A and B are shown apart, each in its own frame.
Chain A
Amino acid sequence: MDERKGKCLLLFQSIHKVMQAEHIIAGLGVQYQIIPVPKEYSSECGMCIEIDCSDSNNLLAELQLDRLSFNIVIKVDS
C-alpha cells in the first residue's frame, strides 16, 4: 500500500499513543502532520497522524518495534 501516492493516516486508540508515535516519527525525520480524525474513519481519540504513504514502510516497522498498535488508513488526495 505504501507504493501508492497520497497520504496515509495512522489512527491510534489514545492521545498517549499518538504522542508516542509522534516522538518516533519526528526522530526518524519523516514529515508528518497531526490532524483531526476524519469522522468517516473512527471515533477514537480525536487526533491522528498524516504521513506520505511513500514513507510508510519504514515507519510502520519502527512503530511495530515499539509495540505501538495502530490502524492505517489510506487517504488518496483528490
Chain B
Amino acid sequence: MANYYFDNSATGHPKPPDVAQYINEYLKLGGTYGRSAYDRVINVSRIVEHTRTLLARLLGTSLTENIVFTYNATHALNNAIKGFSYRKKRVLISPLEHNAVTRPVLHLQNTIGLEFDIMPYNPDGSINLEGLRLFDLKSYDLCIVNHVSNVNGVVQPIAELKALLGDIPLLVDASQSAGHIPIEVDTWNIDMLALTGHKGLMGPTGTGCLFVRSPEIIIPLIHGGTGSRSDSFLMPDFLPDRFEAGTPNVLGIFGLYGALSANVTNCYEHEHFMDLLDRVERLKSFKVFRSLDVNHQASLFSITSNKYSPSELSEQLFKRYSIETRSGLHCAPLAHQTLKTFPMGTVRFSLSKYHNSTDLNYLYSALKELNHG
C-alpha cells in the first residue's frame, strides 16, 4: 500500500498491528501495575516488565532496572536536566538541540543561573570534536546532545564524544534515533538517555523512558505513590521505583510492548534513501539540509525552496500529491539558527520503516514536478 506519510519524526505512522492488538487486550484485561497480587495485576506487571526488558535490549544495556518509564522524551529530559545536581552550574549542549532540551536549560538559566555553551560544530551542525578538545571540559557539570537532529538527520558521534568527556556525565536525547539506528548505552558509556515510544519505535504516544546509569546524580521530578515502601513518606531510593511515582501509562506501555515485539524491519534500503537525497540535491530550486558525512545520516532530511516558503511547499505537497510533511521550525529554533534557516524554517521529510522504494520514488517525482513550477 502506498505510504505518503513523511512526518514520522513528529509521530510514527502507521503502527504495527500488534500495537492496537495489545492496547485492546489491555482494555479488555484491565488491571494496574503492582500494588496488589491478583492475576489481573500480575499479568499487567509482567507485560510492563517485559517492555522494560525489551527497551534494555534495544538500548544495549544490562541495567534493566535503570530504565524508568516516562510519558515521553520531554518528560525524561526534564527529569534529567531539572533533577541534576549542578555544582559548577555550567552545561554543554549541541548546536542542534530541540526545545525539549533548550527550554529546560533556559528555565534553569533564569531560576538558578545555569550557564550553557554550545559545542563547536561543522556546517551541518555535527559536533567538531577537535574544536571541543580545546574547551576546558572540567568546568562543566553535564553535556547534553541530540543523537539525531530532528531537522537534518545528522547523527552525532556519541561514543567519541563520551570518550572525550571522560567523567563528565553525558545526557543523550534519542528521540529521533531510537528505532532507526543502533544505540549502545553500555558500550558507549552513556550516563543518561531519553527516548519516546511513539516515533521510531512506533508505539503509542504517552510512552517514553529515561535511562540513568548512576541514579544518585539526579533527583526525581515527580514524587508520589509507587506501590512500594508504602510505610514511608519518602520516595524509595531504589530503581526503577525512585523515578516512577504514580500509576504508569499501562495502556500505552501495552501498545509499546506490541511495537517492540513486532520487530519491524526496514522496507527500504538505506542506499536508496541516500540516492534520493542526492537526486533531490540536483533539483535546482531546492536546498537540502543533511549530514555532510554519508555515514552519519539518519532517515530524515529537510529542504528549502527558492519558489515556495516552507509552509507553501508543504501545502503543495499535500494538496497535489497527498504527501504529509512538517514545515517550519520543528520546535528546534537553535538547530535552525545553526543551519541558518531561522526563522522561516524548512520542510522536513522523515521516514518510517514501512516506506519502500516506490514511496521514495513517488516523493522524488513530486519534488521534481514542483522544481519546475
Contact = CB atoms under 8 A, between A and B. Distances in A.
A18 B45 contact: yes
Contact of B238 (A13, A34, A46): A13
A57 interface: no
Interface residues of B, number: 25
A43 B229 contact: yes
B52 interface: yes
B240 A16 contact: yes
From B46, B50, B52, B231, name the one whose CB has the most chain A CB atoms within 10 angstroms. B46
A45 B48 CA distance: 15
A43 B236 CA distance: 12
A15 B36 contact: no
B49 A20 contact: yes
Contacts of A14: 65, 228, 236, 238-241
Contacts of B64: 16, 20
Residue with the greatest number of chain A CB neighbours at <10 A, chosen from B36, B48, B229 = B229
Interface string B70-102: 000000000000000000000000000000000
Given A43-B230, A44-B228, A16 B37 contact: no
B34 interface: yes
A11 to B, nearest CB: 11
Nearest to A43: B231
A55 to B, nearest CB: 20
A10 to B, nearest CB: 13
Given A44-B228, A45-B227, A46-B228, A15 B45 contact: yes
Instruction: Give the top 5 A-B pairs by smallest Cβ distance, nearest first.
Output: A19-B49, A47-B37, A15-B34, A36-B37, A45-B228
Interface of B: 33-37, 41-42, 45-46, 48-50, 52, 64-65, 227-231, 236, 238-241
